[in-house]
Amino acid sequence: MALQDLTADMLTRIRNACRNRAKQVLVLNNKLNHGVAGVLVKEGYIRSFELVADGRQGLIRVDLKYGPRGEMLIHHLERVSRTGCRVYRGVEELPRPMSGLGIAIVSTSHGVMSDRECREKRLGGEVVATVG
Average pLDDT of 11-26?
A: 96
pTM of model > 0.75: yes
Mean pLDDT of the chain: 95
The CB density around residue 12, as the number of other CB atoms within 10 Å, is 14
Q: Say what the pLDDT of residue 4 is.
A: 87
Q: What pLDDT band is residue 2 in, cutting at 50, 70 and 90?
A: low
Span 88-119, pLDDT tens digits = 999 999 999 999 999 999 999 999 999 999 99
* d(C-alpha 49, C-alpha 13), whole Å: 14
Q: Say what the pLDDT of residue 117 is.
A: 97
DSSP E strand stretches across the chain: 24-28, 46-52, 59-64, 77-79, 88-89, 103-108, 111-114, 125-131
Asked whether the beta carbons of 38 and 67 are under 8 A apart, the reply is no
* In the predicted structure, residue 1 carries a pLDDT above the cut 90: no
Q: For residue 28, how far is the Cα from the chain centroid? A: 13
- All domains of the chain in start order, with CATH: 6-131 (3.30.1490.10)
Span 61-88, pLDDT tens digits = 999 999 999 999 999 999 999 989 999 9
**Rg of the chain in Å (alpha carbons):** 14
* d(C-alpha 105, C-alpha 52), whole Å: 23
